[in-house]
Chain A
């Protein structure tokens, strides 16, 4: 298929996944704020979100005094002027890439793309209080789920589909690694808090933002041990948002695309695969933060290799 179209399929899927993941993060954080009795500033509650979405610098471009408040962050993440990864921008680029690849996606998908855009464009730009924002993010999450279902049931399983799959699973691996890294760092230093209510809510929020709370509870019965959470999120092959699961599905997509004569991509993917082949003990010995940073670097190198091998 056309290199440019492959690129569009890949990005279309990445942007949708990013919009959905960001909405989920926001939703969980907003819910968490509702009953935050503990002594935590609004700034502390929102900084992790800005960090996960790598948008602290752009936030400061929009709000020069740097002050962090709920209405500001909601606006910034939803449709911030300087935020190139705002949910609205992700949806716009999702639609733009869908337009480019219009002849490769099904009619049902294309109509859903338009519906999503019409449903959220104005609402994301508008003034949102916490409650309305939360409802909006839930609605978006549902639309993303619906779109994924439509894709699974109507899109031809060809090269375009494989690039679409690759983009979505890549973005998910990337977002999961970021979320775990940032949250893990906020939660972890408070060792004195282990077993406290605050500890419970924070770990629960992390797992819920990855849709993994219930599954985690079923698998681990000794409360929220940081090592258990990290192991679950990185290495549990049955958990659809784990890193190992995403990487395995990237592998399926790559196999279908075919890596003959694509040495750069093959090598870059081997580097990533190697990292999800480690045991949890090996990860802790290396340090979870160091491990995730290395993984994020390898993911971005993989993207560079893809561009070189397929999209140029």
Chain B
């Protein structure tokens, strides 16, 4: 059963990744620190400029929506100073992610199958049935080898004590992996001398791991696999990544309109006629995947692809319906999901989360509202949310009423200050908040690429790391020893 959190930690200063205190770097940062001091500011400035030029010439961009009909294409923001994760820290992250992904795949297989976890009373049925991303249309379909989330990008933060916590599970079409690799390419080119001092584990083999996983899913066997990456097109914010991955894997980059389904078989429209497709690595959400099954107004998907999938003629990666497992309302139950399917204690903890249906939790949240974030489970993007520290008494009163009216619709979390790291910003070394998104591939086995995308909130004091809102990134080093 779900364990309520009974004790929240007292607020303290955010954890600093780089410095142990005001004057000394942590042990694993000492060599880097010495080197930065020896390099001097003007050399750093030149290198920062060089990295910008390299990113520009390579067209490493992302698109911000809303400012014009085409979206604005921006150069990927990159900070010179690498973030370092020790071998010991990585062991914990890696094993924790493997455990979590394994459990979540059992969970998805169960939800779209027997639903034992609901029958056993671990998860309330309404939680699933009210979830927007639970797809009734696919109940009873078993994807190849029972795997749903071939690719996961689970976000990890570090709390004030330096403990790694899971912030959110991204199991639909997580992006960022191309930037992880590009950041390394740039860092290696601009700062080769940094690498002399450390044994840094490689990350650039991610596409080959992914390709092997995709090939293993081909209904016609892995030696006869026509694989495509389904993209919404050049105006999608992650289009750079789509081309990057297609190129790295040597697979076709296709849009929905490039494909057609005939007799439950998916084909590509080519200059020499139709060509059968075996595996679709889709970067299009469930809603838009098949207008015959999901949203009928979608032109991004392929009509009939779900039937082809059901017939076992094509593999879809990640499997349709995976989204229910990263639903906000399901998140507090993931530790129980791990215990239920694996009989293990979670290696990586969640951010403490209070269920408003639980009387003790609720009373505690109401008593400490200034230190809480209250979120409506069905909303996203910051809507329907109370940020305790900046709230007014009137607003808090309003939220008490809202929660009492429908406790099931809300969760609460203590405000967590993300850890900080030294960044080179406008000629100065300054601390900024950051998080970490490592990438997990579930193919023949589960593998976590040693590294990840470190996202940085470039605005001073900000806790928002999204690239669309002034977020940047760093090369992320996992040390071999």
Contacts and interface: CB of A to CB of B under 8 A. Distances in A.
A102 B243 contact: yes
Among B58, B268, B270: residue with most chain A CB under 10 A: B270
A166 B151 CA distance: 40
Nearest to A311: B271
Interface in B38-86: 56-59
A312 B270 CA distance: 9
B59 A3 contact: no
A99 B269 contact: no
Given A110-B59, A114-B58, A2 B247 contact: no
Nearest to B253: A103
B258 A3 contact: yes
B239 interface: yes
A114 B234 CA distance: 15
Given A114-B58, A115-B57, A6 B271 contact: yes
B234 A2 contact: no
A257 B234 contact: no
A310 interface: yes
B271 A3 contact: yes
Contact of B56 (A110, A118, A159, A257): A118
Interface in B218-239: 234, 239
Interface in B236-282: 239, 243, 246-247, 252-255, 257-258, 268-272
Contacts of B58: 110-111, 114
Chain B interface, DSSP helix/strand/loop, else mixed: mixed
Interface string A84-100: 00000000000010011
Nearest to A160: B271
Among B56, B59, B253, B271: residue with most chain A CB under 10 A: B271
A114 B243 CA distance: 15
Interface string A103-130: 1000000110111001000000000000
A135 B272 CA distance: 44
Given A2-B254, A115-B57, A100 B271 contact: no
B59 A2 contact: no
A103 B239 CA distance: 12
Contacts of A114: 56-59
A99 B240 CA distance: 9
Contacts of A255: none
Contacts of A96: 234
A113 B61 CA distance: 14
B247 A310 contact: no
Contact of B234 (A100, A103, A113): A100
A99 B243 CA distance: 8
B127 to A, nearest CB: 42
A103 B268 contact: no
A159 B253 CA distance: 16
A269 to B, nearest CB: 16
Interface of A: 1-4, 6, 96, 99-100, 102-103, 110-111, 113-115, 118, 159, 257-258, 310, 312
29 contacts: A1-B271, A2-B254, A2-B258, A2-B268, A3-B258, A3-B269, A3-B270, A4-B254, A4-B255, A4-B258, A4-B269, A6-B271, A99-B59, A99-B234, A99-B243, A100-B234, A102-B253, A103-B243, A103-B247, A110-B58, A110-B59, A111-B58, A111-B59, A114-B58, A114-B59, A118-B56, A257-B271, A310-B271, A312-B269
Given A100-B234, A118-B56, 11 more contacts: A2-B254, A2-B270, A3-B269, A4-B257, A4-B258, A4-B269, A102-B247, A111-B59, A113-B59, A257-B271, A310-B271
Interface of B: 56-59, 234, 239, 243, 246-247, 252-255, 257-258, 268-272
